[in-house]
Structure formats: C-alpha cells, structure tokens
Amino acid sequence: MIPVRGYEGKTVAVLGLGRSGRAAARALRDGGATPVVWDDSATGRDAAEADGFELRDLTKAQAFQDVAAIITSPGIPHLYPAPHPVIAAAWEAGVPVDNDIGLFFQSFASEGFEDFDTAPRVVAVTGSNGKSTTSALIHHILAECGRPSQLAGNIGLGVMDLEPAVDGEVVVLELSSYQTDLARSLTPDIAVFTNLSPDHLDRHGGPGGYFAAKRRLFAEGGPDRAIIGVDEPEGLYLANQLAQGPTDDRVIATSVTQKLTGPGWHVFARKGFLAEWRKGRQVASIDLRDIPGLPGSHNHQNACAAFAVARALGLGPKAIEAALHSYPGLPHRSQRIAEKDGVVFVNDSKATNVDAAAKALSAFPKIRWICGGLEKEGGLEALLPAARSVTKAYVIGREAEAFARQLTGIAAEVCTTMERAVTLAIEEAEPGETVLLAPAAASFDQYDNFERRGDDFVACVEAALAAR
C-alpha cells in the first residue's frame, strides 16, 4: 500500500466504498490522516465500519466543517448528468474534490527514490478501446524483459494498493475517463492515448467533454513522452498540440490505418506487420500475424502502443518481439477459449460498444456472432460495414428483437439467452468458422458486468461441447 502524503493530521472524507474507496481510506489512514467515510449503500457503510472506519453522513448540514478534502470513487458523477449531492455540497463548502488517482500521483514518489540507480517511472494508458490489453501487454513485456513492474488502475490492483516502488520499477496504470476527469494530480512519465470512439457521453456531457477528460492526462499531466494513436481526428489534434514540430520525438505517433514515415518517431502496423520509423528510416519490424494473443487490427493497434512504450523505456526490438509472442491475452478480450471440429470460440465480452465490436468482427473471416444487451446511444448503423464476415447473428438480451431489427442485411435469430445462442451457433457452425461473443452493448440488462457475461459464454460453450 502507498501511504497518502500531504494530509497528516487532517480529516479527509471518502465518498463511495467500493474497491477504490476502501483502498483510499486505508492509504489515508496509513499516511496519518483521519478518514471519515460514507456510501449511499448500507452494505458499503457496514463493511467500512467493520474495518474500523468512522462513518459520517456527508449528506447532512455541517458535514464538511473540519474536512480538508473529499475523495470520491470514479463511478460517482460529479458534473454530468448531475453532480452527486455530496459533491455539490463539498463545492459549496469550498472543500477540494479529488479521487484515488490524484492521491496516487501526489504520494507515489518518496525520499527513497534518491537512493535508486534508476528512478521508478509511471506509464498511464487511456483511450476508448484497448486500454486494458495495452496496459497488460506493456506489463507483460516488462516482466519478460526482466524489468520490475506493477499493473493497476482499471486493471489489476487499485492504485493505492500498489507496493512502494523498487529501484528501476515501472508502474503501468490503465485510466478511464472517469478517473482522469477529476484527478487533481496527473504526472505520468509516459502517457498513452490508444484511440477515441463515442462512449460514456451522458457522464461527460457529450463527445467534447469525453475527449476533454482523456486530454487532461496529457495537457495537465505534462508527460516526458506521449504515445498517441492518430487514426482519429482527436488523436491528430492531441499529437499536434503536444509536439513542437515534426522532428519532436517526445511524441510517438501510432497507427493501424496508414504508413507513418515522416521525420519524427512513428510505430504503425499494416497488413499484419509492425514497423518502427525514426528520422525518416525504418529501424525495426515485427510480423504480428501469427501471434495468438493479438488477433486482428485492433490488437495490432494495442501492440503498436505497447511497443512504443517499451522502446521509450529503452528495451530492444528483439526482446519486445519475443515478449509479444508469449503474451497470453486477457479474459473477455479476444480470448480464444476453445476449438473443436475446426470451429474456434472467442470471448470478447469487453466489446461493449459499437467501435470495439466492429474491430472484433474485423479480426476473423467467417463468424457466428453472438451479440446484444443494453444498447448504447447512437445505434448500430456504424457497425454494419464491419459485419460483412458474419454468417449469422444470434441476439441475446431483454431487447433482443429491437437489437436484431437494426442488423440490416445480416441473417439474425432472436435467442434472448446466452445458452440458447451458444447452442444454436454450435449446431450451425461449420469448420473454418468462429463463434464470437462481441455484444456491441452493455451487459447490465442481464448481468452484473461484462465479466459475468463472458463467464456465462465460456460456461455455455464448455457445457455444449462436452455434451456433443
């Protein structure tokens, strides 16, 4: 655990007692602060009280009289669609609002860093899609190359549950827009922007607010080096804002749609080959096509970003290439779970929006597509061009019929349940096809989260194959 610095002897409120909130409260206490905690759920309050924390109803008048700051969990809205009443009250009282990411960056460095041969560094990864895979891939490369590393944020540990850094260590953080939007301190050594597509628009007041939340990591974080995906206008804009000119190699541009060969530092992938260019010439190349843990152009985009980070940290191309080949992949993200009679089964339950699902559909030639769930804003029209490889769709979810009606030109069957969808897909699949779960929708109509949905898919596939 990383003790929080800067609040010794002060009272700090904590709102929201999920994983990050409880960890923040413990880290505040370890750092000499007095945390007072609150959660809208009685279950959360009871668990915190059992851990010895003082409960304080932050909805009451005068609750902030002696409070130096309030730390809020990322899932609690602070501006759109409306501020949580406790956060609004903190504003009125003039109490600074922060989150655990802000506490981490405020507290990570210690006096012991001066005794290290190599100072610890922080890599922060944000974007719409690919954050988890990119973060896990960076961590994997570092571990395979013998560099000490920890993985945290939206993946792995909560940031305050990290161990204090050792000599030469690299901390890799996956950060969502919910986390970057509010953190009062953002100071990564290397920051990564994977891509941008519409998501969480209600939480950020529209696409501009969503991009602005991501941009804070770079504009306010001031990283020593930025790795920017430039396949969308927002990425091009961000790279342009950060670079002092075309030769400024503090910005590494990445792409999977174009060849980047200007005078700067570029990493791109085309037709399954990753290339690194510096100062107008190619310096490295990797064949990504046969790497089982990184199928499809979306994973090649992740590989480009991870490769760029590893190169910025001083690792050699051959060592990085070897590490890419041993990457096992992440659960629920293009996860190959089975193969039988020439049919491959892939779990991409994390494809919760149209853009992520489109990338998953582009990764395989012949697909039996399991899709559906709680549809997000914007509809499915943008997904259809990527669905040319779909032989048939099997639609799940409470609103499966409405979802299926939008799949114009695609043979679709309303299944409603995962079990029915998997059973039909297996019955109808032919050798050379892939049964792919890529929902293009949130899970909350039937499941607590995308992990539960993916686990159900895996269980249904295993049961159906065992019965054949």
Q: Please indicate if the annotation marks 359 as binding a ligand.
A: no
Task: Count CB atoms within 10 A of the CB of residue 145.
Answer: 17
The DSSP code sequence of 76-89 is S-SSSS---HHHHH
Helix (H) or strand (E) holding 107: helix 100-107
Rounded CA separation 268/278 (Å) = 12
Q: Which amino acid is at 191?
A: A
User: Is 4:160 a contact under the CB 8 Å cutoff?
Assistant: yes
The DSSP code sequence of 257-283 is SS---SSSEEEEEETTEEEEEETTEEE
Per-residue tokens: 270: 């085309």
The 412-416 sheet, strands edge to edge: 335-340, 343-347, 434-437, 367-371, 390-396, 412-416
Per-residue tokens: 38: 């609150």
Q: Please indicate if the annotation marks 129 as binding a ligand.
A: yes
Residue 58: HSE in the Cβ half-sphere, 13 Å Cα cutoff: 34
Q: Cα–chain-centroid distance for residue 284?
A: 27
Q: Please indicate if the annotation marks 334 as binding a ligand.
A: no
Q: Please indicate if the annotation marks 126 as binding a ligand.
A: no
Per-residue tokens: 98: 């922060």
User: Is 454:443 a contact under the CB 8 Å cutoff?
Assistant: no
Per-residue tokens: 414: 């309303």
Rounded CA separation 328/331 (Å) = 9
The 11-15 sheet, strands edge to edge: 54-55, 34-38, 11-15, 67-72, 97-98
| Residue 105 DSSP SS3 | helix
User: Is 15:36 a contact under the CB 8 Å cutoff?
Assistant: no
Helices (H), 220-353: 233-242, 296-312, 317-325
Rounded CA separation 6/335 (Å) = 42
Per-residue tokens: 179: 């986390």
Q: Which amino acid is at 279?
A: K
Q: Please indicate if the annotation marks 127 as binding a ligand.
A: yes
Rounded CA separation 380/406 (Å) = 6
Annotated binding site for ATP: 127-133
Annotated binding site: 127-133
